Structures are given as structure tokens and as C-alpha cells.
Amino acid sequence: MRILIVEDEVDMAHLICKRLGKAGYACDHVANLADAQEALQQFPYQLMLLDRRLPDGDGAEAVPVMRALRPSVRIMIVTALDAPRERVEGLDAGADDYLVKPFDGEELIARVRARLRSSSGAKAPPITAGALSFDPTGQQFCVADKPIKLHKREFALLESLMRRIDRVVVRCILMEDVYGFDDIVSPGALDTLVSRLRKRLESAGAGVQIHLVRGRGYLLSEAET
């Protein structure tokens, strides 16, 4: 899952990204509404966390524009404006949720999970291959029903591959799913990450294989027995 953070306070943006990253979500950060609109046009975000007091306008007033650019995106306003009238303004503008700063980190994650569930409707069934399973709703990988620990980018890479089991995932799609648009990525970074993930899955006995399809990308399949 990729989330867009629209926040002009650097420390707050870093805190939110850190919290979401630990929960397994990939985040991109922009500091104003203009950059948020551009990001929405480029990437299929499932959720946006949107501040109100931004350098180029009120985030609440921009909600209809964001919706027009990406109708499926869920929008959670995260702001210090906490008066009842201000909450009503944000929700009436079309936001799906309204969270007031300062907030509890666990509440933030719970609200994010709730918004993502509402965007996908009914709880999605787990995706399985070999002994490996992925719970899209809970954002958790397990091997033989035991959770497996993965680094943030390993998680994003494996999720991208698992959602397209037995299909080639082209390199540009994997790059978009794994790396943020502000990341400086070396030419061989994706291949190194794939190699590391292969070793981790093999060590855990996941029973899957990641195949290189030269000139195109990678494919995940159940391991041959």
C-alpha cells in the first residue's frame, strides 16, 4: 500500500512516515497542494493524509480537486484545527476522516487501516503460494502461519510480486511500488533487493521462487517440488 503525506512541517511528516513505515506502508511526502496534485496524477495512491494549513492553501478546500484527480483515493485530514466547525468543514468537503494533532500513533495506524478497509470493501482473502501467505487487510506476511519479519522495501517488493503471482511484473512497476519518488536509487538496487529477499524467503522455508525474466522484470511462483 502506498500513502501520500501532504504536510509542510518536516518533523511532523517524518514522524508520520516513520510510524506508517513501521506498520508496513510505503509513503511519499510532499509539502504543498500543487505537488500533491502532481503526485496523484503519477501514482495510484490508496490513501492521502492531508494537512489543512499549507503554503498554497487550505487542504480541506482542495479535497474536491484531489477526488477529481484520483476518485478512488481515501482522504484523511490530519491537522491542528480542532474546533467542531472546522471538523465539519473538513468532512463536508469530502474527507473520509479527520484526525487532530497531536495524535496517538496507534490511533493513526488504526484509522489508516480502517480507511484502507473501507476503500476495498469486504475483507480481502489471503494470497497464498507455497507456505507463504499475505493478508492484504492486516498487511502481514506469514510462513506456515507464523509471521515473517521483512524490511520495509522487502515488504513492498514481496507485496507487489504476491499480488501478481505467476505473472511477470515489469521493472518500472516494481520500482514504483518499492521506492518513493524522492529516493535516490542506484541502477542495481532492485536486483540487490530481490537477491536479499530470495535469501530471506529461502531461509524461512516459504516454498516460493522469484524468477528473473530478462529484459522485462521478475515473477514469483510456488517452488517446484
Q: How is domain 2-120 classified at the architecture level of CATH?
A: 3-Layer(aba) Sandwich (3.40)
User: pLDDT tens digits, residue range 142-196?
Assistant: 999 999 999 989 998 999 999 899 999 999 889 888 887 777 888 899 999 999 9
User: CA dist 179 to 46, 132, 210, Å?
Assistant: 16, 23, 19
Q: pLDDT tens for residues 64-90? A: 999 889 888 999 999 999 999 999 999
User: Do 132 and 142 contact (CB within 8 A), yes or no?
Assistant: yes
What are the helix and strand counts (H, E) for the chain?
8, 14
pLDDT of 123 above 70: no
Name the fold adopted by 127-222. Arc Repressor Mutant, subunit A (1.10.10)
Among residues 127, 148, 146, the alpha carbon closest in space to that of 197 is found at 148
Tell me the pLDDT band of 119, cut-offs 50, 70 and 90.
low
Q: Provide the pLDDT confidence category of residue 124 given band limits of 50, 70 and 90.
A: low
Give the per-residue pLDDT at 99.
94
The pLDDT tens digits for 92-112 are 999 999 999 999 988 999 999
The pTM score is 0.66
Where in the chain are the domains?
Answer: 2-120, 127-222
